[in-house]
């Protein structure tokens, strides 16, 4: 885990050196002399290797450095301040999306090739193919402006979180529904399901205990990365609804060459990703008794 | 198994609460305003709340006036703080915190007497606060330290170049309320520049107490201007209330100004439609839909967009070719059909409607249009140029920033130039903004689509960038005549003589040398709530002043 992180940091750091330009915020007006003075002040005049060693040194002490675009603000405080809103709408979207997706997927698998199945498959395909920002804009206009049920945008109360969460959940619903449907169809044909049925178990027991549980395994695999991408903020949805989240910051920091923020967020995302993948691995054992962790096995 | 499930549920709940608590929704007092507003609206006759709701496209980077470098911070600083001068409703620099401004006979030593005013923590605003802040700009290499150099304050240039200590800057508090500023040489621009944020005072005790946390939160900045910053939530917005201690408080009618961070333009429209904000900027896609409405307005800005020619390029070196390029572009078509965002065509480097001669005549009116022509004329010059350089065709590339606006403009230019100048091939190279700038600085382009925003309200801000060695020249342009005129104008204190010099600089640059191809002056299309009156937009420095605005009853 540490090794993976280390490789990510190193790669990002040196790739960043290839970006042309300066991280300073008013490049249009900076004179060459000023640029030299500023570069010296921030140690950017040093060779990349020395900057790298210095960065790693600071990192080991938990210091992510200062942002260039928000002068005086630490990268740490920028991440901490912004991650909450992103995580909240992400989490809500994930929970809501997974539940609805599960229900849709299960229904369409059980009522295979009926009108219900086609209905939810159509819904899922639509959800996958309509970009979430189109959906977000529609939600904002109809529910926010026309009906005035929920706030149009901004981040003022819990109500403000509902529209962005809902807009985000569409992708989750679609992904989960499609996955669970195909998995269940596969599991329904397995020998152990036939065995369970022939034992005389009630259909509801067969479905909950044998089918769903087994069908969930691949879904969990997929949910891990999905959770990371959704909880770390999505550029467009956050922008549309004015969510003060992390989503835009990452893209923006690359555009304006805010070196320390690029590094900080990359590090944060990768850590989160690794941790979630780890948790997913653990969940396998919980869902599928065939998978066991043995002492000394690889983690 | 059951135990596991309970544990999982508990974990979810715990995470959820944790996340929710980390969300800091913006303050609840904002909500309290809304029902009040509605009540008043219904009763009609009652006094309306003097609350103005606005939006900005992003958060404030820092409010430290010595470091501030962006339009949003300048805007807040302009309304929360006050310096010796400030821009009035006509964008003129007028005495503000300074009661009196006297000059020595040689116009080198300026003495300011300050009004008796207070910081929002009760400390008096003293001359020492100015001395401290200005020296701090120089010492910390603030982003706009060159403004102090432009103002011509003694030793500023040497300090900026690291040859002298910041303590030697030509500013001195000679008493509690008297400030003495010494210049390198007489400078007709001095007064105009003093309205800029970099020249604001700072309370030394307060700044030093907070260290690097200064001006990063609403509590960490002191006000001495028309408004006080009372709330500022990262990425969400900020809130200002009237400063009752401001010396001109009786003329400030607004009680409160809310500014929300709204990044998406169409969300801005939706917020405007629901009455959440009183003003919104339209993107060109939305202009057609709204332009018939009575709250629609076009606001001219002072920024310009133009084509830089690489004067080392064997083809572009030719003045007739540059003239042909200038004349081949239909600028009206560009602004009215392609951009539709409040921009207007321009045939000079100095923007229109903001810069006036001592007799109050617009600079553009006095100098007129340069290199305006028809496609037929363009073709004439083009053929002449081809003969002179001995080529049948010219292939050049165009360096642009990859924004929507610039891409649209570049495609239009490509079509215009290739259609009107047979044998002209233009290849568009779109790169991120910062890279566009790097390529420009290294002069590794043929043509570059450039932008310029003025620093202060004087034509000089568009003109002295073309002298040899200026960091904004970026095209190896050099004409000793222009350099001489700039030097002369910098020291000329007779304002009419100076203005003539300024007019001549542009003539040399565009009439004689056709050094660039000016394209358009920026503008914006906005919707403004009809009840909002007296909101003043400035072309340079801070964008807006709220202090004369009010909500009509």
User: Contact B263/A242, CB-based, under 8 Å?
Assistant: yes
User: Contact A239/B264, CB-based, under 8 Å?
Assistant: yes
Interface of A with B in 156-175 (CB under 8 A): 156-158, 160-161
pLDDT score of B136 more than 90: yes
pLDDT digits (tens, 9 = 90+) for A180-207: 888 888 888 888 888 888 888 888 888 8
**Shared-domain flag, residues B360 and B509:** yes
Collapsing DSSP to helix, strand or coil, B148 comes out as helix
Question: CA B229 → CA B52, B200, B276, distances in Å?
Answer: 14, 16, 20
| pLDDT > 70: percent of chain B | 92
Tally the C-alpha atoms within 13 A of residue A146's C-alpha that lie toward its C-beta: 7
Q: Is residue B60 in some structural domain? A: no
Residue A258 at interface with chain B, using a CB cutoff of 8 Å: no
Interface of A with B in 201-230 (CB under 8 A): none
pLDDT digits (tens, 9 = 90+) for B486-501: 999 988 889 999 999 9
User: Contact A72/B212, CB-based, under 8 Å?
Assistant: yes
> How many Å apart are CA B506 and CA B363, to the nearest integer?
10
Measure in Å the smallest separation between the Cα of B301 and chain A Cα atoms.
18
Of A25, A32, A144, the CB nearest to B70: A25
Domain boundaries, chain A: 2-60, 82-245
Residue A199 at interface with chain B, using a CB cutoff of 8 Å: no
pLDDT value for A292: 60
Assign domain A82-245 to a CATH class: mainly alpha
Measure in Å the smallest separation between the Cα of B113 and chain A Cα atoms.
32
Chain A partners within 8 Å of B271 (Cβ): 152-154
Instruction: For residue A299, name the pLDDT band (cuts at 50, 70, 90).
Output: very low
Kindly tell me the burial class for residue B84, based on how many C-beta atoms sit within 10 Å of its own C-beta (0-12, 13-18, 19 or more): buried
Best mutation site among A77, A148, A156 for testing chain B: the one with the most B CBs within 10 Å?
A156
Of A21, A91, A155, the CB nearest to B26: A155
Its domain, for residue B196, covers 82-217
Residue A144 at interface with chain B, using a CB cutoff of 8 Å: yes
Q: Count of A–B CB contacts within 8 Å?
A: 154
Q: Region B230-249: what's the mean pLDDT?
A: 92
Q: Is residue B309 in some structural domain? A: yes
pLDDT digits (tens, 9 = 90+) for B401-432: 988 889 999 999 999 999 999 999 999 999 88
Q: Is residue B68 in some structural domain? A: no
pLDDT digits (tens, 9 = 90+) for B284-298: 888 888 888 889 988
User: Contact B162/A81, CB-based, under 8 Å?
Assistant: no
CATH number of the domain residue B440 falls in: 3.10.105.10
Residue A73 at interface with chain B, using a CB cutoff of 8 Å: yes
The tokens for B540 are 């340079």
Instruction: For residue B34, name the pLDDT band (cuts at 50, 70, 90).
Output: very low
pLDDT digits (tens, 9 = 90+) for B334-386: 999 899 888 999 999 999 999 999 999 999 999 999 999 999 999 999 999 99
**Shared-domain flag, residues B314 and B189:** no
pLDDT score of B39 more than 60: no
Residue A292 at interface with chain B, using a CB cutoff of 8 Å: no
For the ranges A37-41, A72-76, B235-239, the lowest mean pLDDT is seen at A37-41
Q: Is residue B323 in some structural domain? A: yes
Query: For the residues of chain A, what is the DSSP string, one character each?
Result: -HHHHHHHHHHHHHHHTTS-S-S-S-TTT--HHHHHHHHHHTTTTS-HHHHHHHHHHHHHTT---B-TTTTT-BHHHHHHHHHHHHHHHHHHHHHHHHHHHHHHHHHHHHTTTSHHHHHHHHHHHHHHHS-HHHHHHHHIIIIIIIS-SS-SSS--STHHHHHHHHHHHHHHHHHHHHHHHHHHHHHHTSHHHHHHHHTT--HHHIIIIIIIHHHHHHHHHHHHHHHHHHHT--HHHHHHHT---SHHHHHHHHHTT-HHHHHHHHHHHHHHHHHHHHHHHHHHHHH-TT----TT---
Of B261, B276, B471, the CB nearest to A32: B471
pLDDT value for B29: 42
> How many Å apart are CA B183 and CA B200, to the nearest integer?
18
Q: Is residue B35 in some structural domain? A: no
Question: Alpha-carbon torsion B280, B283, B289, B291, what sign?
Answer: positive
pLDDT score of B312 more than 50: yes
pLDDT value for B44: 45
pLDDT value for B532: 93
Q: Is residue B542 in some structural domain? A: no
Where a domain ends, among B160, B186, B217? B217
Kindly tell me the burial class for residue A24, based on how many C-beta atoms sit within 10 Å of its own C-beta (0-12, 13-18, 19 or more): buried
Collapsing DSSP to helix, strand or coil, B141 comes out as coil
Instruction: For residue A173, name the pLDDT band (cuts at 50, 70, 90).
Output: confident
Q: Is residue B433 in some structural domain? A: yes
**Shared-domain flag, residues B413 and B320:** yes
């Amino acid at each position: 885990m540490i090794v993976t992180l280390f490789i990510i940091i190193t790669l990002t750091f040196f790739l960043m050196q290839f970006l042309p330009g300066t991280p300073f915020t008013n490049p249009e007006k900076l004179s060459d002399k000023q640029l030299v003075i500023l570069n010296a002040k921030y140690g950017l005049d040093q060779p990349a290797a020395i900057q790298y060693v210095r960065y790693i040194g600071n990192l080991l002490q938990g210091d992510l450095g200062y942002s260039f675009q928000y002068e005086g603000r630490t990268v740490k405080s920028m991440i901490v301040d912004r991650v909450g809103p992103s995580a909240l709408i992400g989490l809500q979207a994930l929970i809501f999306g997974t539940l609805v997706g599960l229900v849709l997927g299960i229904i369409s698998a059980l009522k295979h090739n009926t009108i219900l199945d086609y209905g939810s498959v159509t819904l899922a395909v639509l959800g996958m193919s309509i970009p979430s920002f189109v959906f977000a804009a529609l939600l904002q206009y109809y529910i926010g402006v026309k009906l005035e049920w929920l706030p149009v945008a901004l981040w003022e109360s819990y109500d403000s979180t509902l529209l962005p969460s809902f807009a985000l959940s569409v992708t989750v619903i679609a992904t989960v529904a499609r996955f669970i449907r195909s998995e269940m169809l596969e599991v329904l044909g397995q020998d152990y399901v036939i065995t369970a049925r022939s034992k005389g178990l009630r259909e509801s027991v067969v479905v909950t205990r044998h089918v769903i549980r087994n069908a969930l395994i691949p879904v969990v695999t997929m949910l891990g990365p999905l959770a990371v991408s959704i909880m770390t903020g999505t550029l467009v949805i956050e922008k549309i609804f004015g969510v003060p989240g992390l989503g835009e910051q990452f893209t923006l920091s690359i555009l304006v060459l805010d070196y320390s923020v690029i590094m900080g967020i990359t590090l944060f995302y990768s850590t989160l990703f690794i941790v979630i993948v780890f948790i997913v691995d653990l969940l396998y054992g919980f869902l599928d008794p065939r998978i066991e962790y043995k002492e000394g096995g690889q983690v | 198994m059951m135990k596991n499930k309970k544990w999982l549920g508990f974990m979810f709940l715990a995470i959820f609460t944790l996340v929710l608590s980390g969300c800091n929704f913006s303050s609840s007092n904002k909500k309290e305003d809304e029902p009040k507003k509605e009540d008043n609206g219904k009763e009609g006759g009652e006094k309306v709340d003097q609350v103005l709701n606005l939006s900005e496209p992003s958060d404030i980077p820092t409010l430290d006036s010595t470091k501030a470098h962006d339009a949003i911070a300048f805007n807040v600083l302009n309304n929360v703080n006050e310096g010796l001068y400030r821009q009035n409703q006509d964008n003129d620099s007028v005495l503000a915190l300074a009661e009196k401004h006297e000059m020595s006979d040689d116009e080198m030593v300026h003495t300011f007497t300050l009004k008796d005013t207070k910081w929002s923590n009760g400390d008096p605003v003293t001359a020492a606060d100015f001395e401290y802040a200005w020296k701090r700009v120089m010492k910390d290499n603030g982003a706009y330290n060159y403004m102090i150099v432009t103002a011509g304050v003694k030793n500023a240039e040497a300090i900026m170049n690291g040859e002298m200590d910041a303590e030697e800057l030509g500013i001195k508090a000679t008493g509690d309320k008297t400030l003495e500023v010494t210049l390198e040489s007489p400078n007709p621009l001095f007064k105009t520049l003093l309205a800029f944020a970099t020249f604001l005072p700072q309370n030394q005790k307060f700044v030093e107490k907070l260290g690097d946390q200064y001006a990063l939160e609403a509590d960490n900045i002191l006000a001495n201007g028309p408004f006080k910053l009372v709330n500022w939530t990262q990425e969400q917005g900020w809130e200002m209330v009237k400063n009752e201690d401001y010396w001109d408080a009786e003329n400030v009618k607004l009680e409160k100004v809310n500014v929300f961070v709204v990044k998406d333009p169409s969300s801005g429209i939706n917020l405007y439609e629901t009455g959440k904000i009183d003003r919104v900027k339209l993107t060109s896609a939305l202009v057609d839909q709204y332009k018939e409405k009575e709250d629609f307005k076009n606001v001219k800005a002072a920024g310009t967009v133009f084509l830089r020619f690489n004067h080392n390029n064997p083809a572009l070196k030719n003045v007739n070719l540059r003239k042909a390029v200038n004349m081949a572009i239909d600028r009206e078509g560009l602004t009215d059909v392609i951009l539709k965002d409040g921009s207007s065509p321009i045939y000079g480097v100095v923007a229109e409607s903001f810069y006036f001669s001592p007799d109050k005549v617009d600079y553009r009116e006095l100098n007129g249009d340069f290199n305006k022509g028809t496609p037929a004329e363009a073709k004439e010059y083009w053929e002449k140029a081809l003969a002179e350089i001995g080529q049948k065709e010219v292939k050049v590339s165009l360096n642009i920033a990859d924004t929507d606006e610039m891409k649209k403009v570049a495609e239009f230019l490509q079509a215009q130039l290739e259609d009107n100048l047979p044998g002209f091939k233009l290849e568009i190279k779109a790169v991120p903004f910062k890279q566009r700038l790097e390529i420009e600085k290294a002069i590794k382009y043929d043509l570059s689509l450039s932008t310029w925003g003025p620093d202060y309200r004087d034509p000089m801000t568009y003109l002295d960038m073309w002298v040899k060695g200026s960091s904004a020249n970026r095209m190896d342009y050099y004409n000793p005549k222009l350099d001489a005129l700039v030097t002369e104008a910098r020291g000329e204190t007779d304002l009419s003589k100076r203005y003539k010099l300024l007019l001549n600089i542009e003539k040399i640059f565009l009439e004689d040398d056709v050094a660039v191809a000016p394209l358009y002056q920026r503008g914006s299309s906005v919707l403004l709530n009809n009840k909002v009156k007296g909101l003043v937009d400035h072309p340079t420095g801070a964008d807006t002043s709220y202090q004369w605005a009010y909500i009509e009853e």
